[in-house]
A = this chain, B = another copy of it.
Amino acid sequence: MKAVTIKDVAKQAGVSIGTVSRVFNGYPDISESTRKRIFKIAKDVGYSPNLAARTLSSKRQKTIALIFNDLVYTPKTTMPMSILNGVYDYTQSKGIEFAFYAVTTQKQKQKSFEQFCSERNVSGVILQGLHVTDPYYEQLKTTKIPTVLIDMYVDNPYVGSVSTDNVAAAKDAVSSLIKSGRKNIDMMNGSYNATVSVWREQGYHEALEAAELPPNSSLIQYANYDEQIARLMAKQVIEQDSTIDAFFCASDLMALGVIKAAQELNKRIPEDIAVMGFDGIELGEYVTPSLSTVSQQPYQFGQEAGKLVMELIDKPTLDHVLIRHVPYKVITRESSD
């Protein structure tokens, strides 16, 4: 029952532990015969190197950590799980050790980003769900720990960024609403503190501008990515301004709320009001009317983030392309057709 260590293997093989270690680390200066023998013995006794020990004594052992901030999981938003899946698959395919963590704003206050990482010997981090108001955000500007942010950007050569090209995607989405004849497009946005909200709002403006439609800041609400808040706000907007003929929403969840609001006010969708979401959640295909959206690829986020963080670790300070965009697709369904 007690764990078998490198010593047991060495004793069995009649060699020193140094030799066994070299075998397991693929050093070249080992005779083929002993290499074979050691591997066989190791297999027989069921030995495999202890990771904690390896981490302690070696500078090479790499583990990359995926950290979720504010993991408030609801079955409607499955992005986090897909990201996790993508990162995990990437690390496994490269034989890198993976670790998962979740933090909160509260926890960030208690322990710095650097501290959290050094405590756990992580060599690289992928961070999801951070807000610009979080303690980590400031700390990331000066960190030297290779880090990749999902859906957020920080100007630091050690910090990369993976996301959809939100500006372009939002612009495309709004343009498609315009192309179908809508002229008074309201934006149901998320939050000032979410970088993606800022980007998507910019795309919205650019689309209006490109179509020479007048900007109107009263046409933008912030519903904090909440379905119910979006519903209430949309209701108010529609009641106050009967010329609104479309909503561009910064998330599918909010779009669901907007649809409900419109229906409660007896508006026809998409004839009276078109609705466009953002994310591409599964539910969007099943609701009635089905939801037009910008579909993102969270699994690819994970894969790409894994790749980028490894580059950051392996060749630090080299000039990488620190911003990586993952393809998106504007999907037109019943809600805007």
Contacts and interface: CB of A to CB of B under 8 A. Distances in A.
Interface in A238-295: 281-283, 286-288
Number of copies: 2
A120 B97 CA distance: 10
Given A52-B55, A100-B99, A287-B286, A88 B115 contact: no
Contacts of A51: 52, 119-121
Interface residues of A, number: 44
Contacts of A118: 3-4, 48, 50
B46 A114 contact: yes
A51 B102 CA distance: 17
A111 interface: yes
A132 interface: no
Nearest to A3: B118
A253 B320 CA distance: 43
Given A50-B118, A121-B51, A85 B73 contact: yes
Residue from A1, A76, A78, A287 having most chain B Cβ neighbours under 10 A: A78
Interface string A89-126: 00010000011111000000001101100111100000
Contact of A283 (B4, B114, B282): B282
A71 B88 contact: yes
A49 B56 CA distance: 13
A52 B46 contact: no
A51 B115 CA distance: 12
A50 B48 CA distance: 22
Contacts of A102: 88, 92
Contacts of A283: 282-283, 286
A131 interface: no
Contacts of A1: 144
Interface in A36-76: 46-53, 55-56, 71, 73, 75-76
A101 B144 CA distance: 27
Contacts of A56: 50, 52-53, 56
A80 interface: yes
Nearest to A66: B100
Contact of A282 (B49, B76, B85): B76
Interface string A118-147: 111100000000000000000000001000
A82 interface: yes
Contacts of A121: 50-52
A131 B51 CA distance: 27
A81 interface: yes
B76 A112 contact: no
Given A52-B52, A81-B81, 10 more contacts: A1-B144, A48-B118, A50-B121, A51-B121, A52-B56, A52-B120, A78-B81, A92-B102, A98-B100, A288-B288
9 nearest A-B pairs in the assembled complex, by CB-CB distance? A100-B100, A75-B282, A75-B78, A3-B118, A81-B81, A52-B52, A52-B55, A286-B286, A73-B85
11 contacts: A46-B115, A47-B115, A50-B119, A51-B119, A52-B56, A52-B120, A81-B81, A92-B102, A98-B101, A282-B283, A283-B286
